[in-house]
A and B are shown apart, each in its own frame.
Chain A
Amino acid sequence: YNVKARVKADKTGIDLANVKMAMNPFCEIAVEEAIRIKEAGKATEVVVVSIGDKACHEQLRTALALGADRAIHIETALNLESLHIAKLLAKLVEQEAPELVILGKQSIDSDNNQTGQMLAALTKRPQGTFASVVAVDSGKLQVTREVDGGLQTVELSLPAIVTTDLRLNEPRYASLPNIMKAKRKPLDVVDAQSFGVDLSPRVEVLLVEEPAQRASGVIVSDVAQLVEKLRNEAKVIA
């Protein structure tokens, strides 16, 4: 996320060739929270899942190194929309029957902020989105959510879906021995087609352009000049 994204010259998308990839920061927070819940003795197993091409093995191994027990890779070369991903995850939730599914609130590439809510709808589970505090307590979940006006706490019956906000926790780093151990943890690969979900596109990307460039600004020498410019040149203050 420190990489500045560049639009391809033919305007078909963002140039991802040779760009450094990593786990989405909100997903790191989700993995960390799952591991903390397990460490607190409130979960027995943490399963991490990723959908995409082979490159996501690296992210799954990272999650295993952080403390997840096993990984599932749903393999597809297709460029999936949030609804497709939610449908695939819903099938997996049906198979694995986890009590709690934790996702990041949004991915920082598509910036959609949809998958968790959609998964909650498809699995008919309650949702705790934008979570900054999660407390598991005998079959119930108290989730404090970051909302526009402040914080809101809701109680969800388990099983439930939670999406993480930035302040939920501070993700740990993987230690070298744990990275080595992670290589021996199970990582199952399943073909996305085998789930029987219709993955045909529902949204077509016609064009990806650079945002409008701002005209270059000026450096002013002092406060008096700044105020003068804002009043008389930009006319944004009275």
Chain B
Amino acid sequence: MRSLVIAEHEYGVLKADTAKVVNAANQVGAEIDVLLVGHNVTDAAATIATIAGVNNVLVADNAVFEHQLAENVADLVCGLANDYSHIFAPATTSGKNVLPRIAALLDKSQISEITAVVDAETFKRPIYAGNGIATVKSLESQKVITVRSSAFDLPAQQAPCAITALSQGDASNSSSFVSVSQTESVRPELTAAEVIISGGRGMQNGENFSLLEGIADKLGAAIGASRAAVDAGFVPNDMQVGQTGKIVAPNLYIAVGISGAIQHLAGMKDSKVIVAINKDPDAPIFQVADYGLVADLFDVLPALEKAL
């Protein structure tokens, strides 16, 4: 039994998701190789080599992989797949984009967004926006799995393992990269942050999100948003926490002016401590909050910033 983990990185900057997926793969008990696909990714490869449990880092460094287009990456992975009983990727947008393509090319059913490993064939995953937890057993000879990284801890470090360069890399002509616009942020990434403060429709407009910044700075927190706030154009969509946005599980999640729709709760209800600040005492968010404060956020936020 050997596992292949597809590394998550953004233009060579390694994401914590990779290590967490390695941790999930560790629980399967197979030897783990990590595949890093991209261009100019030497630093990321060196970091992966120090994640406890990694046996070998396979590096496909080629200009055709710079934007990790699914068509090219899937063909590469399928060429390697024969050696592995398990293929893992994080349930990030890039993992979700490429892994089902790989699964279909291998003629395997995929298991999405596992939150626990029961044994090498059996996994737990949330369904119906987290309202049910299904225990599923894969009958496939080869398991193709995406991992909800927020459900797994970071593994320890090890002395660096081997790094092997791969020579493969064929560009498919069917899709090509045009442009990318990254949202600039000096704060920690939402999915990796220990503390998150999120605003909802109650923030009323985009400018008011600056009220969250002072608090975020003091707590070293990332700033998130509900779908309502994104759809209203207050903030960009990559800040969205929820079933259709990012799934997070920080130590502390502060929901400000968020009512707590099922879809939002699906994205944050595994947070360790949840604080809700809302002026509506009947808002559903209070049902999952450890600490609730029924008050106007425009009074609370400046006071909270001062008190920290």
Point out residues on A near B: beta carbons under 8 Å: 1-2, 4-7, 13-14, 81-83, 86, 105-106, 108-122, 125-130, 132, 142, 145-157, 160, 165-167, 201-211, 214-215, 217-220, 222-224, 226-227, 229-230, 234, 236-237
Q: Is B63 an interface residue (CB 8 A)?
A: no
Cα A38 to Cα B220 in complex, Å, equals 49
Check A157–B132 contact: CB distance below 8 A. no
Known: A142-B178, A146-B93, A210-B133. A121 touches B237 (CB 8 A): no
Within 8 A of A (CB), among B249-308: 251-252, 262-263, 269, 272-275, 281, 286, 288-295, 300, 303-304, 307-308
Do A154 and B130 touch (CB < 8 A)? Answer: no
B246 within 8 A of A: yes
Question: What are 18 A-B pairs with beta-carbon distances under 8 A?
Answer: A5-B128, A14-B128, A14-B131, A83-B107, A117-B100, A122-B104, A126-B172, A130-B93, A147-B238, A152-B179, A167-B231, A204-B136, A206-B135, A207-B135, A217-B274, A217-B289, A237-B219, A237-B308
Residues of chain A with a CB closer than 8 A to B117's CB: none
Q: Is the CB of B100 within 8 A of A118?
A: yes
Q: Which residues of B contact A4 (CB under 8 A)?
A: 131, 262
Per-position binary interface string of chain B over residues 95-139, scored 1 when its CB falls under 8 Å from any chain A CB and 0 otherwise:
011111111110111111100000000100011111111111111
Partner among A83, A208, A218, A222 whose Cβ is within 8 Å of the Cβ of B134: A208
Instruction: Note all chain A residues with C-beta closer than 8 A to B292.
Output: 217-220
Q: Contact partner of A236 among B111, B136, B273, B288, CB < 8 A? A: B273
User: Given A113-B96, A126-B174, A236-B195, list of 13 further CB < 8 A pairs?
Assistant: A5-B131, A111-B112, A118-B100, A129-B93, A201-B139, A202-B140, A203-B136, A204-B139, A209-B135, A217-B291, A219-B291, A236-B251, A237-B195
B293 touches A223 (CB 8 A): yes
Judging by beta carbons under 8 Å apart, are A147 and B93 in contact? yes
CB distance from B249 to the nearest CB of A (A): 13
Find chain A residues with CB under 8 A from B262 CB.
1-2, 4
Q: Give the one of B137, B230, B244, B269 with max A CB within 10 A.
A: B244
Q: Least Cβ distance of B250 to chain A in Å?
A: 9
Q: Which residues of A contact B37 (CB under 8 A)?
A: none
Chain A residues contacting B158 (CB-CB under 8 Å) are none
- Per-residue CB contact flags for chain B residues 225-243 toward chain A (1 = under 8 Å, else 0) read 0010011000011100001
A142 to B105, CA, bound (A): 25
Shortest CB distance A149–B (Å): 5
Question: Which 7 A/B pairs are nearest by Cβ-Cβ distance?
Answer: A117-B100, A202-B109, A118-B104, A121-B104, A5-B128, A126-B175, A126-B174
Q: Which residues in A have their C-beta under 8 angstroms from that of B112? A: 111-114
Q: Is the CB of A150 within 8 A of B293?
A: no
B 73-88 contacts with A by CB, 8 A: 74
Which of B's residues lie within 8 Å of A, judged by CB?
10, 67, 69-71, 74, 92-94, 96-105, 107-113, 122, 126-140, 172-183, 191, 195, 219, 227, 230-231, 236-238, 243-244, 246, 251-252, 262-263, 269, 272-275, 281, 286, 288-295, 300, 303-304, 307-308
Contact A155 B127 (CB under 8 A): no
> A26's closest neighbor in chain B, by CB?
B244
Knowing A108-B128, A109-B127, A126-B174, say if A166 contacts B97 (CB, 8 Å). Answer: no
State the Cβ distance, B66 to closest chain A Cβ, in Å. Answer: 12
Contact B293 A167 (CB under 8 A): no
Contact B101 A127 (CB under 8 A): yes
Q: Which of B92, B100, B273 contacts A148 (CB 8 A)?
A: B92
Q: Are A207 and B134 interface neighbours, CB within 8 A?
A: yes
Known contacts: A86-B104, A149-B10. The answer to whether A154 contacts B177 by CB under 8 A is yes
Across the interface, do B131 and A150 meet the contact criterion of CB distance under 8 Å? Answer: no
- A154 partner residues in chain B, CB cutoff 8 A: 67, 69, 175-178
Closest to A110 in B: B127
Decide: B139 and A211 in contact? CB cutoff 8 A: no
B286 & A219 in contact (Cβ 8 Å cutoff): yes
- Contact: A1 with B113, CB < 8 Å? no
Residue of B nearest to A209 (CB): B133
A4-B262 Cα distance, complex, nearest whole Å: 8
Cβ distance A148 to chain B, nearest Cβ, rounded Å: 5
Given A154-B177, A226-B275, A226-B293, are A203 and B97 also a contact pair (CB < 8 Å)? no
Residues of A within 8 A of B135 (CB): 205-209
Q: Which of B70, B130, B289 is within 8 Å of A127, CB to CB?
A: B70
Q: In whole angstroms, what is the CA distance A230 to B273 when docked?
A: 9
Known contacts A208-B132, A209-B135; A230/B294 CB under 8 A: no
Residues on the A chain within 8 Å of B107, using CB? 83
